[in-house]
Amino acid sequence: MQARSADWYQGLVHNPIGGRLTRTLGLPAPALLRRYRVGQPLLEGPALVGSAPGGRMQDVVVRIVNQGAGEVVTEPSESDRSRWAAVVFDATGIGEVGSLVQLPQFVGPAFRRLGRSGRLLVLGTPPESLDDPEAAAAQRALDGFVRSAAKEARGGATANLLYVAQGAEAGAESTLRFLLSARSAYVSGQPIRLKAGDPTPAPTPNWEEPLAERVAVVTGAARGIGAAIAEVLARDGAHVVCVDVPAAGAGLAEVANRLGGTAFQLDITAPDAPARLLDHLRQRHGGAHVVVHNAGITRDKTLANMTPDLWSSLMAVNLEAQLRINRALLEDDALHDAARVICVSSTSGIAGNRGQTNYAASKAGIIGMVEALAPSFALRGATINAVAPGFIETEMTAAMPFAVREMGRRVNSMGQGGLPVDVAETVAWLAQPGTAGVTGQTLRVCGQSLVGA
Amino acid sequence: MSSPARSTARSAAPEAPTRARAAIVGGNRIPFARANGPYAHASNQDMFTTALDGLVARFGLQGERAGEVAGGAVLKHSRDFNLTRECVLGSRLSPATPAYDVQQACGTGLETAILVANKIALGQVEWGIAGGVDTVSDAPIAINEDLREVLLDLNRARTPVDRLRAAAGIRPQHLVPELPRNAEPRTGLSMGEHAALTAKEWEISREAQDELAVASHRNLAAAYERGFFDDLVTPYLGLTRDQNLRPDASSESLAKLRPVFGEGPDATMTAGNSTPLSDGASVVLLASDAWAKQRRLPVLAHLIDAETAAVDYVHGGEGLLMAPVYAVPRLLARHDLTLQDFDFYEIHEAFASTVLATLKAWEDARYCRERLGLKKAVGNIDRSKLNVNGSSLAAGHPFAATGGRILATLAKLLAEKGSGRGLISICAAGGQGLVAILEAA
């Protein structure tokens, strides 16, 4: 989908001469990440699945891996040296700190045999749902464990933690599939919380097209991450309404035509923008199931040089427009029940960034908005989440000075920048009807960036 | 009820109102550019294909087979003999979409829409696309006419001697190419010179012309500002609005310009109150109501009827651009309407003086009686309903693209209002004029 060649160093490492050179010099070798292609199996190799006593998730995991035509191993043999495509440990039943030693016992030896772009997935019980302090401590300990394991992972492997609430087991499938598959290529070191859905989402009939029959709106779709999001949602079966400012209409029409969607030119900061968007969705599509707020701008200046104009013009696009549209969506039947709203934040909004007081403030504001709106959307069976991309290879990052760009690219556990498609895959997972248990959260797509972890 | 137009209506076509009507679903155009501006290296095919693809993207028509696409250009290369079909093949429409070219000078764009709409009304096609394109920048330059004849003789020659004899006819002056001219073949006068004659005959003042031009710029700018064109225009080659648009145009600034058409101290027509040579393309999506409904597409307005007139500007003493003056009363009569029965008037601003002469002619009882054969004047219009979102003086006028611009603009105006009726009037070279009635859906 996107060229890998944006990263010159990765290209060097993966050509025969450059590879020898970098190995000789002892330089790191960022892996070529396995990325999703239509028809790709869930896992390419066996999965090792284990559980601490009292675990609730092993059956679900085994069923999903088997459905994905993958082999499940529960008792690893010493003689077998094959590489694991995934190692899954169900720690949901751990209630005592002493039991945590099963992590090094089970995951430790297996971790060494984790294959390229392998997946370590630990399943836990949300600590905040536990009354017993020790149980809460033990469950929270999983977070530190997984984050550290993610930093030790090599060869494009990831480590993530999924906290599954009591009663949410049956609704975990879309999230388990996302975290095990190549769709989560650049998501690592992240804890995700899964609530019990009410009602439990209907089963997804076709995992190749989980968004079939759905209408999705993507703002800022004319290029970059927005175009990638539109493309992945369309690939997953959605009809995509591509939105961007009228001035970006040429690129917007190209994107819409490429993926068989429609182009809707709209300045989301216009006072009547929410009404126009909703009217359009109602009239042309009978409403929308998915809304992706991706449109955003940068107006970088250090704080001393930040003018109110630069501040306000950015806030209008990055935060205020989303707030107004979300408010309108909540009150309007143009948004179907059980809808999915996804807002694009940024690791700048978590960690801060020099020269981006306005941008980081807006992106942090999105995280606050998502948390605050989640209960209201829940009343309609809908979810609202944010994704926070780290360093993503786009036109915007390509325009950065060399040293800054190299810094941004390397200071993460994967040793490379992500691609727009990595953000898009994460959005597409949150957009699925089956992902009903994830809401009010901000998921980072940053290769476990060292900043703001 | 005393209107002479009405009395002829009943005898002319009593069954007219019962006809099926084509819906205008929407439109798309690229911003119009001034000649040799940003589109200098874009061909008619490039621009029309882009306009089609923008329409396809807006309405989700990728891979769909339209009943037909009718398009055309006034200035056309000989290689573009099948221009519209070539554009369809290069577009995102199904390659199984038939297409044909139309050329009726500046009336081309409206004429294509009339043709497609008529087929829809007859049930011959379910939906189609009409439009036009023109470039003055990428104009066809032909080889010298005398040289062309020599070369054709050379081609016909059978023996080496014949060939030598033919080739000997080539002369140095044959290197001078044949350039397209903005002139009437039968009078040798440019369109501006013709318009200047009419302006003088009707005593159209410089001030009135400049005032109309200022209104055009202001109205177009205001329409852009309120997002009116958000779903009618798709940017192209970095241009996001019509290049000719001057939001700050004023009577004072226009008054400084020197006349370019007409002669003597009382010449009134300047570059400011005449349309500039322009490049651009526009398309309109037409369909049956049923098709639009089935695809959840809007019906902005219906194309009710159209009329084309032609005048004898060569020997008949009529102005070159006065044909719409004749066409409108004929159309009104057919529908038992008066000129005052409209909520919007879209009168193509080839020149400010053309619009003003047209209006003045309709108000002139003697003219209406003697030339139009009416019993009394057609009457005046409420000027606040004229070209309310600007017209060609501000937007520019790529000849064949103007019809599509006006149709989509008027259809959306009617959709916004939710009711009412609009009149389109477009003058064209060769002494022709096309007019049409749109009604809100």
* pLDDT exceeds 80 at position B141: no
d(CA B112, CA B272): 29
Q: How far is CA B169 from the centre of its chain?
A: 42
Give residue A1's pLDDT: 40
pLDDT for res A198: 65
Residue A25 makes CB contacts below 8 A (sequence gap 6+) with none
The enclosing H or E element of A85 equals strand A84-90
A257 to chain B: closest CA residue: B57
Give the best residue of A239, A241, A262, A276 to mutate against chain B (max B CB count within 10 A): A262
A249 lies within 8 A of chain B by CB: yes
Beta bridge pairs of residue B133 = B281
Q: Highest mean pLDDT: which of A7-16, A258-267, B130-139, B179-188?
A: A258-267
A262-265 sheet: strands from edge to edge: A262-265, A239-244, A215-219, A288-293, A335-344, A383-389, A442-445
One-letter amino acid of B392: S
Active site residues of B: 106, 397, 427
Q: Does A279 touch chain B (CB under 8 A)?
A: no
B chain contacts of residue A239, beta-carbon cutoff 8 Å:
60
A231 touches chain B (CB under 8 A): no
The answer to whether A263 contacts B58, with C-beta atoms less than 8 Å apart, is yes
Q: Tell if the CB–CB gap between B235 and A247 is shorter than 8 Å.
A: yes
Hey, is the C-beta of B326 within 8 angstroms of any chain A C-beta? no
Note which residues in 337-376 of chain B have CB less than 8 A from chain A.
none
In chain A, residues with a C-beta closer than 8 Å to the C-beta of B234 are 249-250, 252-253, 263, 265
Rounded Cα distance between B114 and B63, Å, is 25
Task: Give dist(CA A324, CA A329) in Å, integer.
Answer: 9
What is the rounded CA–CA span in Å between residue A45 and residue A172?
Answer: 22
DSSP labels, A394-443 = SHHHHTS-HHHHHHHHHSBTTSS-B-HHHHHHHHHHHHSTT--S--S-EE
Rg over CA atoms, chain B: 22
Q: DSSP states of A191-254 as a string?
A: EEEEPPPSSPPPPPS-TTSTTTT-EEEEETTTSHHHHHHHHHHHHTT-EEEEEE-GGGHHHHHH
Note the pLDDT tens digit of each residue in B52-111: 999 999 999 999 999 999 999 999 888 899 999 999 999 999 999 999 999 999 999 999
Q: Are the C-beta atoms of residues B127 and B288 closer than 8 Å to each other?
A: yes
Structure tokens at A64: 């999903």
Q: Is A328 exposed, middle or buried (0-12, 13-18, 19+ CB in 10 A)?
A: middle
Q: Does A295 touch chain B (CB under 8 A)?
A: no
pLDDT band at B4 (very low <50, low <70, confident <90, very high): very low
Q: Looking at beta carbons, which residues of chain B come within 8 Å of A270?
A: 227
Average pLDDT, chain A: 92
- Nearest Cα neighbor of B109 from B399, B307, B408 is B399
Residues of B in contact with A249 (CB under 8 A): 54, 233-235, 240
Chain B CB within 8 Å of residue A265 CB: yes
Cβ pair A253:B53 closer than 8 A:
yes
With a cut of 70, list the residues of chain A below it in pLDDT: 1-6, 26, 198-200, 452-453
**Confidence at residue A14, expressed as pLDDT on a 0 to 100 scale:** 78
Instruction: Say what the pLDDT of residue A396 is.
Output: 80
ipTM higher than the 0.95 cut: no
Which residue in A330, A316, A391, A398 sits closest to A361, CA to CA? A316
pLDDT tens for B340-386 read 999 999 999 999 999 999 999 999 999 999 999 999 999 999 999 99
Mean of pLDDT values over B391-396: 98
Query: Is pLDDT of B18 > 80?
Result: no
Nearest CA to A241 out of A205, A201, A276, A210 is that of A276
pLDDT given for residue B5 in this prediction: 44
Q: Does B233 touch chain A (CB under 8 A)?
A: yes
Q: Do B235 and A264 touch (CB under 8 A)?
A: no
Size of interface A-B (CB pairs under 8 A): 70
Q: B60: which chain A residues are within 8 Å (Cβ-Cβ)?
A: 239, 256, 260-262
Q: Between B4 and A242, where is the model more confident?
A: A242
Q: Is the pLDDT of residue B9 over 80?
A: no
What is the Cα–Cα distance from A152 to A313, expressed in whole angstroms? 42
Residues 6 or more apart in contact with residue B262 via CB below 8 angstroms? B193, B196, B197, B199, B200, B268, B269
**Closest by Cβ to B227, choosing from A248, A261, A267:** A267
The model carries a pTM of 0.91
For the residues B281-308, what does the mean pLDDT come to?
97
pLDDT tens for B313-347 read 999 899 999 999 999 999 999 999 999 999 999 99
Q: Give the residue from B46, B47, B55, B58 with the most A CB atoms within 10 Å of its CB, the best one to mutate.
A: B58
- Provide, as residue numbers in chain A, all residues whose Cβ is less than 8 Å from the Cβ of B56: 253, 257
The candidate with the shortest Cα–Cα distance to A155, out of A45, A231, A317, is: A45
- The candidate with the shortest Cα–Cα distance to A359, out of A286, A296, A446, A304, is A296
The conformational region for residue B68 under phi > 0 = left, psi -120 to 50 = alpha, else beta, is beta
Q: Which residues pair with A160 in a beta bridge?
A: A121
Q: Is B223 on the interface with A (CB under 8 A)?
A: no
Mean pLDDT of B187-208: 93
